[in-house]
Structure formats: structure tokens, C-alpha cells
Structure 1
Amino acid sequence: MSYIYKPFDLERWISKHYLKKGITKPSHMDIEEIAKSFDVQLGYREKRSYSFAYGNSKIISIDSKLTIEEQHEQFFHELCHILRHCGSQLIMPKAFRDLQEWDAKRFTRYAAIPLHMVQQFDLKSDFVIEEMSYKFNINSFIVKERLEGIYRNKRIG
């Protein structure tokens, strides 16, 4: 009996976009280049990270005081809001805000550690979490969540 991973549509969509833009390996995971690939302007300021979209303008501002890993996490979180959400969280009901935050957390895992790159690692290695964290410049907790999600979604094939 063998088990295969059945990716979610969102994972496939992200990988397809990255592959189309030539983002094929962890060393290509430069958030400035990823922002450009989605026509998003990216900047850094010493204030809380945020995103803003109005018409064709899409802007993400990342807190420059954060570590590289935290900046990457914030970038992917805000990128989700830009690409998948609408409306101001300042005026929306808590249930909608909570749903958007849940989606942004899920998106962050998929976009920071894309499916087509996960396959480049030995998932049985005792050091895979540390290796992926280092290669993707992302917190090891996010790597662990991503891998746990992959293990949970394996189906008999």
C-alpha cells in the first residue's frame, strides 16, 4: 500500500505561478522578486506590516525591525490579503476577520514553502525542518506546520 500527497488547489495555483515566473528552487524565494511577480510594490518601514490595494495599486509594507524570517512570514501573510481578500478589516465583523486571518496563515505556509520545492528535500531526514527553515528563510514553526499538513493529507494511491 502506498500513500500519495493530494495537494490543495491553492498549493497548485501558487506552484504554477512560481514555476511560470522561474521561481523553481529555495534560492529563488526572494520576496522582492515574488512581489514583482504579482505586480505588488514592496517597501520596508519601521512600523507594523500592512498591505493596501486600491484599483490597480497593490502595496505591502514590511516592518524593517523584524528578523528576515519574520519579514518573510509577514510578507506572505500580507500577500494573501492582497491577492485573496477584499474589504477593510477595521470595519468587518470579527467572524470575517478571523476567516481572513485563518486563510492568510494557510496561504503563508503554501507560498513560503511551495509544493514543487518541498519535493527537493529528504522529508525523512532528522534535520529537514532546520534545513528547510534555513533554505526558505522562514521560521521553523511554519516549516513544521507545513510538513504536518503534508503528512495529514496523504491518501492511499
Structure 2
Amino acid sequence: MVYTKTHLEDFIENLYTNIGIHHPRQLNPEEISAKLGIVVDYVDGTSKCIEHERFSFIMLNQNLSPAVQWQEFAHELCHLLRYAGNQFTLPSS
């Protein structure tokens, strides 16, 4: 049986390759965001991302474990890289 990667897996692999991420030790918010020109800050509140003109920001809850921060970073990064528009103004459906 041959494993076929999903489109999202292909996207992530291409992204990492293009920005020079080749080792698991490089999988951290600081290194990835620096290579993508995204500002990451740790806040005492809900994790979220903001895109304003040419600037992108990810705010991560500083009280979460590193593993959960990583998951939230990846989630917010996906919003910046894969979606357009304000998610708060979309219909509930």
C-alpha cells in the first residue's frame, strides 16, 4: 500500500522546504515566524492572529504548555496562510 499525502500535507512540506526548515528541532513558533516575517508575541489572553496591510501578527497565550502553544501557533498560522477575510464577520454556517 502506498501512502498518498493530502493537499494540506503537500502545502506544509513545500512551505517548510521553501523557508529552510529541514529538522524537527526547527519546528518552533519563533524560527518559523521569523522566516515568514510574522511577529509572534505571548499574551495573557486568547491566542489569535491579526493581519493588517503588510504586517502579520500571531499572539499566543503565554499560560499554555509548549505543546498546546505549538498547536495554537499552527492553527493561527493556517489562518494567515490559507484563509482570507475576517473570520468574525462570516455567517455562523
Query: What TM-score, normalized by structure 1, do the two folds share?
Result: 0.56
Residues of 2 paired with 1:88 and 1:20: CA distance? 27
Residues of 2 paired with 1:20 and 1:69: CA distance? 24
Corresponding residue to 2:84 among 74, 83, 86: 86
Kindly tell me: are residues 25 and 86 of structure 1, through their superposed partners in 2, closer, same or farther at Cα, counting changes over 3 Å? same
When Rg is computed on C-alpha atoms for both structures, the one with the higher figure is: 1
Q: Aligned residue for 2:64? A: 66
Corresponding residue to 2:36 among 35, 38, 41: 38
Root-mean-square deviation (Å):
1.3
Q: Aligned residue for 2:20? A: 22
Corresponding residue to 2:48 among 47, 50, 68: 50
CA apart distance, 1:5: 0.8
Q: Which has the higher helix share?
A: 1
Unaligned runs of 5+ in 1: 96-157
Query: What TM-score, normalized by structure 2, do the two folds share?
Result: 0.90
The share of aligned pairs that are identical, in percent, is: 29
Number of aligned positions between the proteins:
93
* Relative contact order higher in (CA < 8 Å, ≥ 6 apart): 1
CA apart distance, 1:43: 0.6
- What are the equivalent positions in structure 2 for 1:101-116 lying under 5 Å apart? none
Q: Where in structure 1 do 4 or more consecutive aligned residues deviate above 6 Å?
A: none
